[in-house]
Structure 1
Amino acid sequence: MDYYDLIIVGAGPAGSTLASALETSGKKVLTIDKQDFPRDKTCAGWVTPAVMKTLKIDLDEYANGRTFQPIRRFRIGMMGQPAVENDHGDVVSYGIRRCEFDDYLLSRVTGPKQLATPVKSIVRKDGNWVINDTWEAPLVVGAGGHFCPVARLLGEGPGSHETVVAAKEVEFEMTPEQASACEARGDTPELWFCRDLKGYAWVFRKGNYLNIGLGREDNHKLSGHLEAFVDEMKSAGRIPEDLPGRFKGHAYLLYAHAERPLVDDGILLIGDSAGLAYTQSGEGIRPAIESALLAADVIRDAPDYSASSLQIYGDAIAGRFGNRAADTDQGWQVPDWIKTPLASSLMRSHWFTRKVVTEKWFLHQEVPPLKAAV
């Protein structure tokens, strides 16, 4: 049996950030993931300057040999009506490929890693956790996404009325013919809201790669909405007629609607395992990074790994992202006041789509980068 101070289950941005942040703590940390890296990850794939600053990533160094698409504009609209394009002037975000970004973050972890290793069992034994009858630690951290096996130990929270958002996307490298036929521009992601405002779709060109997807709160209607959106984009010339491969799916929880506990004795959840995706956009990379850094601060100083000691992390999450909704409002990410007959007009407004949709909901420009050291 190999003993560690803590075991991180999941080597994506949350897990790798936590492992990196604890490398000078003197703690022995093991990071486990069911997949080998680099690996495909279903995600539209953009990060804000705040994420790159928090992670202390050298932009020129990262861009060397990797997809790194500066974003200066957004096209935003409601399906079935013309889009509004806003020019932000400066770079407000960057397009990345998750297979490259996640692999880069994990490559910065110098501690032990166990990849291509599914977690088949997590058993409580003498106050510790034993994983796969092989590795033992007093603390396990769930960083494996919505279906993380560590999160399952805590259940779905009071009432289990969580709204799970389901999304499907495809990302592929375009042929010269596809690239010439695609009117979507690299520095201008396109966001298209469903008319019932229960989700949105996107078209995102990153260099020679194209990412198309749609996410909604009602999974049973997802495929139909996606098919209609793709047909509309093809007819408008925004995307090529011939799309290769199948759309891949994933699921996540929106922060304000999640009821999943964050800590228990010897257990702590970060990133999508904890249900931290921004309520207004579903974006999860920045919350994942920041939750890992907040967790690292608590783990370094915790006298033990009891639920009461780890609750400091839960308080820190609430302080950073706000308190979760106390009621059982199951709406999608937009506030109720948007879901009015005025919605169509608002989505044609340059001020609203820029100041509210882009800068507030998607970029969170009013929130400064987290002051934490990796």
Structure 2
Amino acid sequence: MQTDRCDVLIVGGGPAGSSCAWGLRDSGLDVLILDQATFPRDKVCAGWITPAVAELLRLDLSDYQKSHVLQPITRFRTGIIGGAAVQTEFTQTVSYGIRRCEFDEYLLNRCGARTRLGEKFHSLERTESGWLVNGTLRAKVIIGAGGHFCPVARWLNPDKGSEHSVVLAQETEFPLTSEQLKACRVQPERPELYFSPDLRGYAWCFLKDGFLNVGIGREGEKQLSAARDEFIQFLDLEGRVPREILGKFKGHAYRLYGLQKRTIVDDGVILIGDAAGLASPQSGEGIRPAIESGLMAADVLRQCENQYVQSRLTDYQQKILDRFGPWPDKPAGSIVPAPVRQFLGRHLISTHWFTRNVLLGRWFLQQHLPPLVRS
């Protein structure tokens, strides 16, 4: 088979990889995206983006929604699974519901990079000039953007280590019939978030343009299916979503940021997005950090002048630390310290102030985070 060459090889065509390629679109570098999937592809995700993400990507929302789902969100219903719910309303759109199968394909198609889709990554070798992938693809620098199970990330972090910082999730998304819509009480502009009593995870229901998305995620949970079944029963008993309409659930995993130190740069290699373990430690939200890390990596690569040694790439690591905070010297505990979980579960999440300003405003919508300043 003939050898293919590129300057930058991005392994993974999701939002992190496509954003990195988009950030390099006029750099003069030959960028190639390799992904084992063909697009559009399914992705386990509740599926929403904030106005900050749309602005960062320079998305023309009026054009996007002509042929893609774009559900404005102005309200939330939140609570503890098995407990009472809190209603929160905003005076403007604070987020947009999207379908990941559409959103990811849209970003990939507009990024400007060459692609090799439907091709599985199965080998990686260092060479004098960079990397040899799958025996036929040569690159000067490789970007690991393949999510939690990214092969480049596993090559760079071979020790499995503690799994306490890993969230396991299950989700189903499917179109509702007219009869099912009548039986479903979830409202399109009002996603529903329900936290586990121990605050080690949360579940969600989200209706967007006739598509219902229901899912649950928990930290290091080995019996997630049991927690999922309990949540389904809760939704059914509360009259929110009849259990008989729910489709088949699919699984996913991702690593929370700031609970365990990771190697994210080396000679000729950078990890971005979920491959770098950048999901928000409070909400598990990973789209914004994926996109921001991809753009930060692109900015650093532009300054390397074809010298992709570790000393030139550490600027990327510093950007990550400056943006998302320092890593711990040793593995940290859970999202919420155990001594305060019970108090939070019984009191704070049931209050309107905490729900609006902390749980939603800070944890999920990240309204405290200023716009990313690019070099």
1:321-340 correspondence to structure 2 within 5 Å: 321-331=324-334, 333-335=335-337, 338-340=340-342
Structure 1 residues 158 and 166 mapped into 2: Cα distance closer, same or farther (>3 Å)? closer
Structure 1 residue 30, shift from structure 2 partner: 0.6
State TM-score, norm by structure 1: 0.96
Listed one character per residue, the Cα deviations across residues 92-142 of structure 1 (whole Å, up to 9, x for unaligned) are 000000000001101102221101111111111224211111110121000
Listed one character per residue, the Cα deviations across residues 63-109 of structure 1 (whole Å, up to 9, x for unaligned) are 10211100001111011111001001210000000000001101102
Aligned-partner SS, 1:167? strand
CA–CA separation in structure 1 for the residues paired with 2:95 and 2:343: 31
CA–CA separation in structure 2 for the residues paired with 1:312 and 1:342: 38
Among residues 85, 104, 107, which one is paired with 2:106 in the alignment? 104
Among residues 166, 170, 176, which one is paired with 2:168 in the alignment? 166
The answer for the alignment partner of 1:82 in structure 2 is: 84
Structure 1 residues 157 and 371 mapped into 2: Cα distance closer, same or farther (>3 Å)? farther
Listed one character per residue, the Cα deviations across residues 225-245 of structure 1 (whole Å, up to 9, x for unaligned) are 110011110111111332353
Structure 1 residues 162 and 349 mapped into 2: Cα distance closer, same or farther (>3 Å)? closer
The answer for the alignment partner of 1:302 in structure 2 is: 304
Contact 2:16 2:293 in 1 (8 A): yes
Structure 1 residue 162, shift from structure 2 partner: 5.2
The answer for the alignment partner of 2:23 in structure 1 is: 21
CA–CA separation in structure 1 for the residues paired with 2:312 and 2:106: 32
Structure 1 residue 159, shift from structure 2 partner: 5.3
State TM-score, norm by structure 2: 0.96
Among residues 237, 261, 264, which one is paired with 2:263 in the alignment? 261
Contact 2:170 2:215 in 1 (8 A): yes
Structure 1 residue 160, shift from structure 2 partner: 4.7
The answer for the alignment partner of 2:240 in structure 1 is: 238
Q: Mean Cα displacement is larger for which, 151-160 or 115-124?
A: 151-160
1:51-62 correspondence to structure 2 within 5 Å: 51-62=53-64
Q: Aligned partner of 1:350: which letter?
A: H
> Which consecutive unaligned segments of at least 5 residues does structure 2 have?
none
CA–CA separation in structure 2 for the residues paired with 1:238 and 1:159: 39
Q: Does 1:312 align with 2:315?
A: yes
CA–CA separation in structure 2 for the residues paired with 1:86 and 1:244: 26
CA–CA separation in structure 2 for the residues paired with 1:51 and 1:349: 28
Structure 1 residues 370 and 21 mapped into 2: Cα distance closer, same or farther (>3 Å)? same
Aligned-partner SS, 1:219? coil
CA–CA separation in structure 1 for the residues paired with 2:108 and 2:163: 34
1:1-374 correspondence to structure 2 within 5 Å: 1-155=3-157, 160=162, 163-303=165-305, 304-331=307-334, 333-335=335-337, 338-372=340-374
Contact 1:8 1:32 in 2 (8 A): yes
After superposition, the CA RMSD in angstroms is 1.6
Size of the aligned set, in residue pairs, is: 372
CA–CA separation in structure 2 for the residues paired with 1:338 and 1:71: 30
Contact 2:201 2:216 in 1 (8 A): yes
Q: Mean Cα displacement is larger for which, 319-328 or 25-34?
A: 319-328
Q: Percent identity?
A: 48
Listed one character per residue, the Cα deviations across residues 159-187 of structure 1 (whole Å, up to 9, x for unaligned) are 55652110000000001111010001011
Structure 1 residue 269, shift from structure 2 partner: 0.3
CA–CA separation in structure 2 for the residues paired with 1:310 and 1:29: 17
> Which consecutive unaligned segments of at least 5 residues does structure 1 have?
none
Q: Aligned partner of 1:322: which letter?
A: G
Aligned-partner SS, 1:211? strand
Aligned-partner SS, 2:258? helix
Structure 1 residues 197 and 243 mapped into 2: Cα distance closer, same or farther (>3 Å)? same
